[in-house]
Structure 1
Amino acid sequence: MSNASTSTEDAAAKAASKRYEGLVAVRSKAVQGKGAWYWAHLEPILIRENETKSPKAVKLKCTLCDAAFSASNPSRTATEHLKKGTCPNFSSMLNPLTQLPPLASPSSRKNNRKRCLQSQQSNDASLDVCPLNMVDPSRFLSNEVSFLPAQAPPPLCLKPLLLSGGREDYGPLARLESSVKKLKSPSGSPISALSKNQVKKAFDVLADWFYESCGVVSLSSLEHPKFRAFLNQVGFPASLKMEFLSSRLESKFEGARMESEARISDAAFFQVACDGWKARSCGVGSQRLVKFTVNLPNRTTVFQKAMCVDGAAVPSQYAEEVLWETIQGICGDNVQRCAGIISDKYKAKALRNLELQNHWMINLSCQVQGFFSLIKDLYRELPLFKTVSDNCIKIASLINSTPHIRNSFHKFRLQGLDIAGFVRVPPPKCDIAKIWSPFIAMLDDLLSCSRILNLIVSDDSCKVGLLDVSGGEVAELIQDVGFWRHVEASHSLVKTIVAMAEDIEAERPSVGQCLPLWEELRTKIKDWCSKYGIAEGPVEKILERRFRKVYHPAWSAAFILDPLYLVRDASGKYLPPFKCLTHEQEKDVDKLVTRLVSRDEAHIALMELMKWRSEGLDPLYAQAVQVRQQDPVTGKLKIANPQGSRLVWETCLKDLKILGKVAVRLLFLHATSCGIKHDSSFTRWFCGQGNSSSGLERAQKLVFVAAHAKLERQDYSSAEEKDAELFGSIYGEDDMLNEVLADTPSA
C-alpha cells in the first residue's frame, strides 16, 4: 500500500472519529433540552474495521427498533423513520387523537343510544362530557394524521368523545366545518379588534420602522397581498404607500430637520464629512451615493444630505462646487464656522483649492482610504505581490477548470473538511492594482486548501490527470515550499493593513492620532519583513511615498497640541513631543498655526506655541487626560474621556488664548469620512428616481429621516453586514454539528 493511500485512510478514519464525537456532543445537548427532539430516539454508533479496528464509518441507530441508518442527515432520518411511521415502536408510543370508531348501522343506533344513556346515568353526575369544540380544528387542515407524544399531559376531556352518527351530531359537525373554513380564509373580518387608540399607536410604530428601514424595505413590498391581508386583520389601512409618502413623511422630515439644524446652530464650529466620491467596484460607470454629514465638537454627527453620482470619476471642479454650496447652505454668511472638510476622495484638487481660498479651513482625506491605497501601491511596486498573484491565478484556473480535481475536493469535503469547491479568481476586467479585495479573496481560498492540494498532486491518479491538462508546472508550484511561504507573507501583510483600516473605521480617530497610527504601521511592517525574510528597503520606500502623499501639516500640529501625547521629562514636566517630529514637520506646525489665525495674531500665536513647548501642562491635568480604560467589548485600552484634550484647552490653558482657539478647532477634527452605511439596493432605489423632481424630493426626505434615526442610535453598519452577522449566529442542526466539530481536537 502506498504512503498516499495510507495517509488518505488515516484522514478518513480521523474524519469518522470527529464526526462521531460531534454527533455524540449534539445528542448530549439535545437530551438536556438544547436540541432537536428526535435525538432521544437516535444514537450515534462508530463502525470499525474488522482487522485494524480503525474507525470506518458513523451510523445512527434507532433505540426503539435497533435499525441503523446513515449519519449524513439526522433530521431527514428522523422524518423518514419516525415521523412517517416507518418505526413500529415509535407509532405505538403515540396516542392518535383523530381515530374515530366506524359509524353505527341504522338498525343499531337506538340500542347504542340506550346503552349510552344507561352508562351515563350510572356514572357520577358531576362527570362532564368533553364538548366537541375542544378538538383542535387545525388538525384537520393537514394531510398527515397529527399525534401527541406519549409524554404529553392527559387531555382535559375525561372520557373519549364518541360520535353516534345520529341527527344530533349534525350541529357540532356543521360548527366544526365553519371553523375550518374560517381558518382557511383569513381574509375575512379581523381576528381580534383593536381600539382606535391601539391602532393609532401600532400604526405609528409601523411607520417609524418603515422610515428607519428606508431602502431596505421597498415601497412595493407594502402592496404585497399577504402584507395587506395582515393589515386588514389588525385593523390598519389596506394601503400604506400614500399614507407613508404624504403628510406623515412631511411631519417626520420636518422634525428631523429642525432637530439637526438646532444642533448645528448651537455648535461654535463643525466639520463637513462626505463619503461616496471614491469608486469601489470593478465596473465603470456605476452609480453611487455621496452622503454629507456634519461632525460637531461634542463628537456627535448629524446628517445633512445625499446625492447620486454617475461614472467612475467626478470632475474636481464639480466636487468643489458641491462642497462649497454645502458649506454655504449650512453656515449662511458665517462660513468661518466650518473648520474644514474630510472626504474619502484621495488627493482631491477640490479640497486643496478650498483650503487655499479659506485660510481657516483644514481639508483632509480619509485615513481608511490612505491605508487601502498603500495595499495598491504594494501590489504595483513590490515584485513579491505580482509574482504571487500570477502563480495563484494559474493554480486557481486549473482547479476551477479540471473536473477530476474538483471531484477530489468534493471527496475531501465529504470527509468533514471545510474547503471551497471553487477558488475565487479576480474578474478578467478587474484591475487588481486598483481593486485589491479579489486578490485577498483568492489568497484566502488557496491557503484554506493548501494541504488538500498537496495531497492531490501526490496522488498517482491525479498526477496523470494534471499532465493531461498541462498541469505539470502547476504541480511543481504546489509542491514548492517557497511559493506557499510567499503566499502566506503576502496574505499576512495585506491582512495586517486591512485590520488596521477596519479599526480606524470603527474607532473614528481624531487628526492628532494620524502620526501615531502610521508609526504603528511602520513597526508592524518591519516585524513582517523580519519574520518572512523580506528586504526592508523596498517596502519602506513604498510606505514612505504613500505617507508623503497623504500627509497633512494638521497631523503634526494636532499631535503637538494634543495633551494626550505629552511626555514627562526628567524634571517632572509634561511637555509636547517635538522630539518625535522631523525638522520639516516642526516647520509645518509653525506654518499651520499662523495660517489659522489672522495676521495680527500670528506673532502672538507663535509666542504662545514656544511657551507651550517649554512649560507644557500641569502634571495633574496631563495625567487626567491620559487616563485609559479597558473597553468591555473589544478588550482594548481606550481614552477614558475622548473630549478631555479639547476641554483642557478651554478651561486650564486660558492664558494661551490665541493658540487655544487653534487647538480647540483642530483637535476635534475627525480623521475619517466614514459615515452611515447602506446596502446596494438603497443606492439603486435612490438613484433610480432619474429626472423626477417629486420622486427625488420624496427620496431625499426618506433618506434624511432614516439617516437621522441611524445616527441617533449610533448605528453605522449596513443591512447587508447585519444580515451576514445574523445568519452566522443562527445555528441549525448542521451548524451546531459543525461548531462542535471545529472545537473538537483532532487525533
Structure 2
Amino acid sequence: MATVNAVSSSTSALETTPASAVEEMEAKAVWKRYEALMTVRTKAIKGKGAWYWAHLEPILMCPSESGAPKAVKLRCSLCDALFSASNPSRTASEHLKRGTCPNFSSPSAAAGSGGCDTYQHAQPKPISSLPPPSSSRKRSCNSYQIEVLYSSPSTSPILPLPSPQQPNLLLSGGKDDLGALAMLEDSVKKLKSPVASPNPALSKVQIDTAFSFLSDWFYECAGVISFSSLEHPKFRAFLKQAGLPSISRSDLTGTRLDARYEEARYDAEVRICDALFFQVAADGWKPSSDANGGDSLVSITVNLPNGTTVFHRALISDGRIPCKYAENVLWDAVTNVSSSGRGGSPATLCAGIVSDRYKSTALRSLEDQHHWMVNLSCQLHGFRSLIKDFTRDFPRGLSVFDNVASKCSKVAIFFNNNSSARTIFHKYQTQELGRTSLLRYANGSDCSFTVEDIIASTAAFHRTVHDDSFKLLCLDNPEATQLADVILDMKFWNEVQAVNSLIKLITHMIQEMQSERPLVGQCLPLWEELRSKIKAWCAKYGIDETVVHKVFEKRFKKNYHPAWSAAFILDPLYLTKDTTGKYLPPYKCLTPEQDKDVDKLITRLASREEAHIVLNELMKWRSEGMDPIYAQAVQVKQLDPATGKMKIANPQSSRLVWETCLSEEFGTLGKVAVRLIFLHATAGGFKCNVPWLRWLKRQGRSRAAMEKAQKMIFVAAQARLERRDFWGDEDKDGEMFSHGDADELSERNFQREFMEGSSV
C-alpha cells in the first residue's frame, strides 16, 4: 500500500512540477529506453527472445527530489540485485551464468559457455530463506533513492516484497495460499484487459458541437467517405476515446441532413435574391473518363456580380444527351434560379450562360430566343481542343506533330507488345524512374499522353538500345532495328521536345485559367497572348508559322463570340491613354469585323426603344472615354503573394464604376456594360469529385436515396464554393504527392541525354 501511495504521489509530482527542457528531454529518453526493454522482455517471456529476461526486470529510477525518471535499471527477480540496463546480455552472463546470483544455479555455469538451451535452471531458493539485506545494498544507484518502481503503463505498481522476518510465510502454490492466488488472478486480468484512464465527461453542448463539425466534414466529403465507415471499429474506438457516443447512419441521413440542406439552400437563395442579375454555368457535359462507364457529373452553378458562386444542382450525363435536352436543362436552371426567393421573377435577370459544350446548338438557340442573354463556350474547352487541332489538322507528312505522333505511337506499341524489348526497357525504367509502366498511346493523332511518357523515359530508351540484349534482338527483328535508329536520331528528340513544349505551353495557360477564372473581357487578351507565345515557339523550333497560324485561327473562329470584343471595349480595365491624356477604349486592337460586332451586340442587348440611345452613348464612350482619375483607380494593381504576379487590386471596380461614376452620363450603355463585363468565360470553376458520380449512380434505384444524395452533394458543393475551393480532391492529392519531381526528373534526363548525343 505504501508503494501504491508512492506511485500516486510521484505521478502527480510529474504532472504538476515544471521541469526544464533538458530534464524533459532526458526523461523522455529514459522512458523510451524503458519501454523498449519492456517490449523485448514481453516477447521473451512469450518464448520469442532470450532466456534471461525471465529473471531480469526493467525498472525506472526516480530521485526523491524530482518526479522525473533519471535512469533505467535491471532488477534480478531472484535476488533483488540492481544492474545497469546498458547491456542485458552481459549482465545475464556475469550475474546468472557465472553463479553470482545465489538463487540461480546451472551445471554449465562453471564452463562459462554454451547456448541458452543448455542451461538447466535450478529452482530458486525461497525468499524466506534469504538473509536480511545489508544496509549497504539498498535499492539505490548514484545516491538516488528509489521512490517508485514502474512496471508497464497498463499494469499496477509492483508490490513490495514480503519481509524475511514475517512469520508463517506461505509460498505461492500452497493449499492455503488463497490470498496470493487472488492477487495473481487480479494481476492477470489487468494485463489482459488494461483499464484505460477515464476521460473527462463532455457536456451536451460540447457533444453537439463536436457532432456538428463531424457531420459537416462528412457531408463535405460526400461520396468519398462511405456510410459503412461510421461502423468501422477503429472509428468507434476513436469516438469512445474522445468521450463521444457512437454515431449511426440514421444520425447523418435524417433530420441533421435535412436541417443542414435547408440551411445551405436558404443561404444560396438569399445570395441570389440580393443580386440584380446572374449567370448560369454548366460543366461536365463531356464524359470525364471511360472508367466511369462513359458517364460524367454535370454541375450547374450560378455566378453572381459580386464574384461569388452558388451551387444549383447536379445531374448525370452519359455523353449522348441530345442538344434539345441540354437546352431544356439549361433553361429550367435559368427559370428556377430567376424565381428563387423572388416569387416568380422574369428570366431577364439571367445575363447569360457559359457551358463546356453545345455551343453551336443549345447555347445559340437560347441566345436567339432571348435577346438579353450572352451564351458562351468555355475557354478551357477551347484551349484543350486547340491541342487536338495541332495534332489533327496539319497536312499529313508535313507536320512535326504528325511525325512525332506516328513515331511515338510505334515506339510505344513495340515496347508494350514485345516481351523481350519490354523486359529490357523496364529494367532501365526502374533504374531511372524507380518504377515500371506501359507507355500510353491514343488511336489517332492525339499524341499528348504518348509524348509525355516518351519524354519521361528518355534516358531509359537510350540505355535500352545500347544494351547488348537489345542489340541481339535487333538481329532477328527489323522493327527493333528501325525503332533503335529512331531513338538514336537527335532530330526525332528535337521534334518530341518541340511538341512537348507546345503542349506544356497551352496546358500551363489552362491551369492559370482554372485558378483565376477569367471574365469575358479577358478572352481577346488571352488568345492574343497565346498567339504571341506560339509565334515565339515557331521561331525557336523552326516550325512553319503559316501552317500553325491557319490551325490557330480556325480554332479561334470556332470559339469566338462578339461578347469578347464588346466586353473588351466596355471594360475600363483596358482603357488606354492617348496623346491628349484621355483614357479611351482600345478599338485599335480590334479587327474591322470585331468593331462591327461591338455595335451589333450592344444594340441587341438593349431594348428596341433604347437601341438608338445606346449607340449614341457608345459613340461618346469611344471618343471621350473615362476621366483619367477614375480610369487610373480602376487599373491599380498590386502584388499577389500567392502567385508573385501583379493583379488588379479590386476586380469589382470595373463594374462598380459603371454603376456609380458613369451612371448619369452613360445611363443606357451602363445597364448593358454592368451585365456584360461581369460574365465569366469559363465553366470549369467548380469540379465535382469522381466518387460523387459513382456514389450518385449507386443511389439511382431508390427515389429516397437519390434525394438524400442530392442533398449531400448540394451541401458539399456549396461549402466548397464558399471556401473558393474549385479543385477536385484528386487533383490536390496528385499535386501533393508529385511535388513536380517527375517533371523535373524527366526534364533533367532529357537534357542529359540530349547533351550526350550532341557531343557524340
Name the TM-score, length of structure 1 as normaliser. 0.76
SS of equivalent residue, structure 1 residue 678: coil
SS of equivalent residue, structure 1 residue 291: strand
Give the counterpart of 1:418 among 419, 422, 433.
433
- Please show how residues 440-479 of structure 1 align to structure 2 within 5 Å: 440-470=448-478, 471-479=480-488
**What one-letter code is carried by the residue in structure 1 that aligns with 2:454?**
L
Quick one: structure 1 residues 122 and 702, their matched pair in 2 at CA, closer, same or farther if it must change by over 3 Å?
Answer: closer
2: CA distance between counterparts of 1:400 and 1:628?
Answer: 52
- Please show how residues 585-664 of structure 1 align to structure 2 within 5 Å: 585-654=594-663, 655-664=665-674
Give the counterpart of 1:101 among 68, 74, 77.
77
Which residue number in structure 2 is paired with residue 240 of structure 1? Answer: 248
1:661-681 deviations in whole A, cap 9, x for unaligned? 010000110000013223322
- Please show how residues 95-494 of structure 1 align to structure 2 within 5 Å: 100-102=76-78, 108-112=126-130, 114-115=132-133, 129-131=147-149, 134-137=150-153, 174-183=185-194, 193-282=201-290, 286-309=294-317, 311-332=318-339, 333-382=345-394, 383-409=399-425, 412=428, 417-418=432-433, 421-426=436-441, 431-432=443-444, 436=446, 439-470=447-478, 471-494=480-503
Displacement of 1:712 = 1.3
User: Does the 8 A contact of 1:419 with 1:449 survive in 2?
Assistant: no
Which residue number in structure 2 is paired with residue 674 of structure 1? Answer: 684
Quick one: structure 1 residues 178 and 630, their matched pair in 2 at CA, closer, same or farther if it must change by over 3 Å?
Answer: same
Displacement of 1:197 = 3.1
**What one-letter code is carried by the residue in structure 2 that aligns with 1:442?**
T
1: CA distance between counterparts of 2:355 and 2:554?
Answer: 21
1:579 aligns with 2:588: yes
1: CA distance between counterparts of 2:319 and 2:73?
Answer: 67
- Please show how residues 21-40 of structure 1 align to structure 2 within 5 Å: none
2: CA distance between counterparts of 1:192 and 1:594?
Answer: 71
User: Does the 8 A contact of 1:288 with 1:683 survive in 2?
Assistant: yes
SS of equivalent residue, structure 1 residue 115: coil
**What one-letter code is carried by the residue in structure 2 that aligns with 1:197?**
V
Give the counterpart of 1:504 among 473, 498, 513.
513
**What one-letter code is carried by the residue in structure 1 that aligns with 2:477?**
V
SS of equivalent residue, structure 2 residue 279: strand
2: CA distance between counterparts of 1:113 and 1:175?
Answer: 30
SS of equivalent residue, structure 2 residue 579: coil
User: Does the 8 A contact of 2:426 with 2:437 survive in 1?
Assistant: no
1: CA distance between counterparts of 2:734 and 2:422?
Answer: 27
**What one-letter code is carried by the residue in structure 2 that aligns with 1:590?**
D
User: Does the 8 A contact of 1:163 with 1:169 survive in 2?
Assistant: no
Q: Would you say how many aligned residue pairs link Structure 1 and Structure 2?
A: 622
- Rg larger in 1 or in 2? 2
1:449-505 deviations in whole A, cap 9, x for unaligned? 324423432444422223333311111111222211111111111111111111111
Which residue number in structure 1 is paired with residue 707 of structure 2? Answer: 697
1: CA distance between counterparts of 2:162 and 2:694?
Answer: 63
1: CA distance between counterparts of 2:144 and 2:517?
Answer: 75
Quick one: structure 1 residues 176 and 121, their matched pair in 2 at CA, closer, same or farther if it must change by over 3 Å?
Answer: closer
**What one-letter code is carried by the residue in structure 2 that aligns with 1:650?**
E
Displacement of 1:196 = 3.0
User: Does the 8 A contact of 1:316 with 1:348 survive in 2?
Assistant: no
SS of equivalent residue, structure 2 residue 375: strand
**What one-letter code is carried by the residue in structure 2 that aligns with 1:721?**
D
User: Does the 8 A contact of 2:154 with 2:190 survive in 1?
Assistant: no
User: Does the 8 A contact of 1:423 with 1:442 survive in 2?
Assistant: no
Quick one: structure 1 residues 413 and 343, their matched pair in 2 at CA, closer, same or farther if it must change by over 3 Å?
Answer: closer
User: Does the 8 A contact of 2:428 with 2:463 survive in 1?
Assistant: no
1:287-325 deviations in whole A, cap 9, x for unaligned? 21111111110101111111122x222101101111111
1:559-610 deviations in whole A, cap 9, x for unaligned? 0001111111111111101111111111110011111111110001000000
2: CA distance between counterparts of 1:127 and 1:252?
Answer: 62
SS of equivalent residue, structure 1 residue 715: coil
CA RMSD of aligned residues (A): 3.8
SS of equivalent residue, structure 2 residue 433: coil
Displacement of 1:265 = 0.2
**What one-letter code is carried by the residue in structure 1 that aligns with 2:193?**
K
SS of equivalent residue, structure 1 residue 673: coil
Displacement of 1:116 = 7.4
User: Does the 8 A contact of 1:400 with 1:423 survive in 2?
Assistant: yes
1: CA distance between counterparts of 2:361 and 2:76?
Answer: 85
Quick one: structure 1 residues 107 and 505, their matched pair in 2 at CA, closer, same or farther if it must change by over 3 Å?
Answer: closer
2: CA distance between counterparts of 1:122 and 1:534?
Answer: 86
- Please show how residues 42-53 of structure 1 align to structure 2 within 5 Å: none
Displacement of 1:270 = 0.6
1: CA distance between counterparts of 2:483 and 2:592?
Answer: 52
User: Does the 8 A contact of 2:78 with 2:124 survive in 1?
Assistant: no
Quick one: structure 1 residues 339 and 585, their matched pair in 2 at CA, closer, same or farther if it must change by over 3 Å?
Answer: same
SS of equivalent residue, structure 2 residue 651: coil
1:338-379 deviations in whole A, cap 9, x for unaligned? 111111115241111111111101111100000011111111
Moved more, 707-716 or 358-367: 707-716
1:712-742 deviations in whole A, cap 9, x for unaligned? 11111222123223434699xxx9xx99x99
Displacement of 1:411 = 5.1
- Please show how residues 724-735 of structure 1 align to structure 2 within 5 Å: 724-728=734-738
